[in-house]
Every structure is written in structure tokens, then in C-alpha cells.
């Protein structure tokens, strides 16, 4: 599969780049995508939730009334979970939600997500470009030349481009990621992926599979 390279001004350069079929043209594995997405979302959880149990509630441990002779059900102290002033029974405690998948699984998930975009003609390659200053107008014009103004777009840069990131802050449907931090969720969440040429080379080197080793 070949894609035409877009210049910084949005005009086609006349050059094409061949997409590695082992990265951008595989049979997507939905189960592996689910595993990687679950890992990413789980690792974002802080796990700091906590409720007060009966040992944490302030109050006396005195028995409320004698065991027999009152006509009431027997009762312990006021911190019992069945009482309004008591602690919660089996409440959440701080814990880690961290999950792991091996590198091969994570890379297969990203290849699957990128293959979905390539097969749906939602992948674009643009020349490496930088901005001298943040300009939302310039970035919007670049996207409008390809009818991407009202589309959820992910711009993947080859390096840290602070000006491009700042330019996209006021565009609700545009997000910017440095290629080293690109995740499966980033790709799936966008309707169109705009890759800088350097970012494409990086992904190809990182995710490509040697057919002889497969």
C-alpha cells in the first residue's frame, strides 16, 4: 500500500511512501486490542478509594444494651455496619490495578489499530514540519485542505513539538502525540491519523515483523 506524502502547506508533494504490510496491512486481532486497551485503562486508575469500616469509625466499643430481657434483637456496639453510625462492611480499600501484557502483545495491538486506519483510508502522511510559534489558524488550515476540520484527528509527531501541541489545544477534535508515547487507545480514539514522515519511519522500525521470524 502506497500513500502520497503531504507537504507542510497541505499540498501533495508528488512523492509516495510504501507502508510496511506487516505493520499497516495485517488482519487486525480484536482480542489483543482489547487486552492492551484494558491494560492502559487499568493502569490509569489511582486505586486510592477507601471507606471507613467499623474499625475506622469513631465511637465507643461499649455494648448498646444487655443481651437478654429487653425484647430487642441482640446488638453489639454502635459501630456495627447495620447501624446508621457504623462503618461500611467490606468497603473498598486502596489497591493497585496495574496490569501487564508482554511487548509482543502490545505491539500487535498497535499494528492492528493502525491496520484498521489504513484499511479505512484514515491514514495520512505529512512531511516533518515545525511551527515557529503556536498558531491554531495555521493548523486548522492544514486540516481543512483535507476535509478534516470536523473530524477527530490524531497528529503524530516525530519529536516533541511544543508549538504544534499548543496550536491544537483550542481545537476540540484534534490531539497531538509524540510517536514514542503513541498507544493503541490514541489510534482507536481518532477518526483520522496524521503521521509525520519521521513518525512513520519510527513506527515501521519499531513494529515491523521479519516474515522469516513470523
Please enumerate in sequence order all residues whose Cβ is within 8 A of that of 118, keeping only pairs 6 or more positions apart, or say none.
1, 19, 24, 25
Measured CA to CA, the distance from residue 124 to residue 127 in angstroms comes to: 10
**Residue with the three cell numbers 501484557:** 101
Three-state SS at 4: strand
CA distances from 145 to 109, 149, 193, 205 (A): 31, 9, 15, 30
55, 87 in Cβ contact below 8 A?
A: yes
> How much is the pLDDT for 131?
83
The closest of 114, 95, 87 to 45, measured between CA atoms, is 95
State how far Cα 133 lies from the chain centre: 28
DSSP secondary structure string for all residues of 102-159: -HHHHHHHHHHHHHHHHHTT-EEEE-----SS--HHHHHHHHHTTT-TTS-EEEEESS
**Residue with the three cell numbers 502525540:** 177
> How much is the pLDDT for 34?
97
> How much is the pLDDT for 52?
94
Q: Sketch out the chain's domains with CATH numbers.
A: 2-45+98-207 (3.40.1370.10), 47-96 (no CATH)
pLDDT (tens, 9 = 90+) of the chain, 214 residues, equals 777 777 766 666 677 888 889 999 899 999 999 999 999 999 999 999 999 999 999 989 999 999 999 999 999 999 999 999 899 999 999 999 999 999 999 999 999 999 999 999 899 888 888 788 888 888 888 888 777 888 899 999 988 888 889 988 888 889 999 999 999 999 999 999 999 889 999 999 999 876 545 4
> How much is the pLDDT for 214?
47
Amino acid at each position: 500500500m502506497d500513500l502520497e506524502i503531504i507537504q507542510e502547506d497541505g499540498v501533495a508533494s508528488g512523492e509516495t511512501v510504501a507502508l510496511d504490510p506487516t505493520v499497516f496491512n495485517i488482519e487486525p486481532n480484536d482480542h489483543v486490542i482489547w487486552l492492551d486497551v484494558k491494560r492502559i485503562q487499568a493502569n490509569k486508575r489511582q486505586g486510592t478509594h477507601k471507606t471507613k469500616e467499623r474499625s475506622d469509625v469513631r465511637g465507643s466499643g461499649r455494648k448498646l444494651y444487655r443481651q437478654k430481657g429487653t425484647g430487642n434483637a441482640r446488638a453489639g456496639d454502635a459501630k456495627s455496619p447495620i447501624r446508621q453510625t457504623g462503618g461500611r462492611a467490606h468497603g473498598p480499600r486502596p489497591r493497585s490495578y496495574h496490569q501487564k501484557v508482554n511487548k509482543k502483545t502490545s505491539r500487535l495491538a498497535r499494528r492492528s489499530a493502525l491496520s484498521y486506519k489504513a484499511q479505512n483510508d484514515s491514514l495520512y502522511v505529512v512531511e516533518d514540519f515545525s511551527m515557529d510559534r503556536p498558531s491554531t489558524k495555521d493548523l486548522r488550515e492544514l486540516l481543512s485542505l483535507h476535509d478534516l476540520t470536523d473530524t477527530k484527528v490524531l497528529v503524530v509527531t516525530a519529536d516533541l513539538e511544543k508549538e504544534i501541541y499548543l496550536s491544537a489545544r483550542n481545537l476540540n477534535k484534534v490531539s497531538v502525540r509524540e510517536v514514542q508515547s503513541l498507544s493503541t487507545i490514541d489510534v482507536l480514539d481518532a477518526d483520522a491519523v496524521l503521521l509525520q514522515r519521521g513518525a512513520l519511519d519510527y513506527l515501521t522500525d519499531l513494529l515491523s515483523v521479519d516474515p522469516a521470524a513470523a
